[in-house]
Structure 1
Amino acid sequence: MTGHTHKEHSGARLIEEAEGVLKSSGEQWTAMRADVFEALASQDRPASAYDIAEIVGGKRGKRVAANSVYRILDLFVRTNLANRIESANAYLANSHPGCQHDCIFLICDDCGTATHLDDDKLTGALRDAGHRAGFADVRPVVELRGLCNECAG
């Protein structure tokens, strides 16, 4: 199926949905994890662990180590609460945390905006190619770089 649909969440509903998904995976929704997710979800473009550490530190009134944020972001990626933009070493909150699928990201080289695109036919073909090459548990990570319409303008 190409371009399947999702229940997109934002704001408080996104945070509530993320908390439920994390808890159902057997993990705890701690105050620090909540702060990191909130900070990530407030960003309109991919954010680094350092960006998130700065936001959370400002909220908490004390320095937050980027290493702690990296561990939490890695947990969020494993539990499908966030996506990692590999080429930028940055993260985006997943607006549909309960949905498991492969994502394609279109990333603007000028402004840094990342647009999420679903195309299960394309990612399925990549997954199949990996299996034919002898790989198991293949997870396509597809990023297309260029200029968004606004920057190409």
Structure 2
Amino acid sequence: MRSHDHQVHEGESLRKAARDRLQAKGEQWTDMRSAVFDALSSFDRPASAYDIAEAVSKSQDRRVAANSVYRILDLFVGANLARRVESANAYIANQHPDCLHDCIFLICDNCGQAVHIDDDKLSGGIRDAAANAGFAARRPVIEVRGTCGDCSDSK
């Protein structure tokens, strides 16, 4: 993968970019998918399917099952609209759904914040090491646990 600049979306721009990306993949942007994406993107840290189901349930004034949310989140991950934080079994909205990068997360053990960074050189090295071992890395995920700058500064 070569390095490049990409547009980071927020708010309505993120919602539109996600909708456009999903539709470009041949999927529909339904009311439920929209509600799940809105809930997911409203969290300031990784959210579980249960967190998202609760948020959607409150916004729609009806119970939404976590199983339904899991199916939508799987679709979102496959379409590059969301990233899965493996160690937390949680998700974050991808702020640049038009660009496909391997996942590199910096996860704070204190506050739970997860920052997604792109470093094609690092992830390319992982892919190269896997290839040299005879392994085809389809979806490398790198998670670095530690303390974020905000939590470090407060100590």
* TM-score strictly above 0.5: yes
Deviating runs (4+, > 3 A) in structure 1?
Answer: 1-4
Aligned to 1:21: 21
Residue aligning to 1:37: 37
Partner residue in 1 for 2:50: 50
Q: Which deviates more, 115-124 or 82-91?
A: 115-124
- 1:65-144 to structure 2, matched below 5 A, reads 65-144=65-144
Verify: 1:150 aligned to 2:150, yes or no: yes
* Identical residues among aligned pairs (%): 63
The answer for unaligned runs of 5 or more in structure 2 is none
CA contact under 8 A between 1:103 and 1:117: conserved in structure 2? yes
> What is the TM-score with the length of structure 1 in the denominator?
0.95
1:132, distance to aligned residue in structure 2 (A):
1.9
User: In the aligned structure 2, how far is the partner of 1:7 from the partner of 1:132?
Assistant: 33
Distance in 2 between the 1:134 and 1:127 partners? 11
Q: Partner amino acid for 2:12?
A: A
Cα offsets for 1:95-125 (capped at 9, x unmatched): 0001011121100001001112111111001
TM-score normalised by length of structure 2: 0.94
Q: Which residue of 2 aligns with 1:11?
A: 11
Cα displacement (A) at 1:4: 3.6
Q: Which secondary structure does the structure 1 equivalent of 2:138 belong to?
A: coil
Which string of whole-angstrom CA distances, capped at 9 and with x for unpartnered residues, describes residues 15-52 of structure 1? 01100000110111110000000110111110000000
Q: One-letter code of the match for 1:138?
A: R
| Structure 2 Cα separation of the partners of residues 48 and 37 of structure 1 | 13
- Compute the displacement of 1:135 (Å): 2.3
Task: Give me the whole-angstrom Cα distance separating, in 1, the residues matched to 2:45 and 2:93.
Answer: 10
Which runs of no fewer than 5 residues in structure 1 stay unpaired? none
Provide the C-alpha distance between the structure 1 equivalents of 2:2 and 2:44, rounded to a whole number of angstroms: 25
Counterpart of 1:142 in 2: which secondary structure? strand
When residues 144 and 3 of structure 1 are mapped into structure 2, their CA distance, relative to the original with a 3 A threshold, is farther
Cα distance in 2 between the residues matched to 1:19 and 1:133: 39
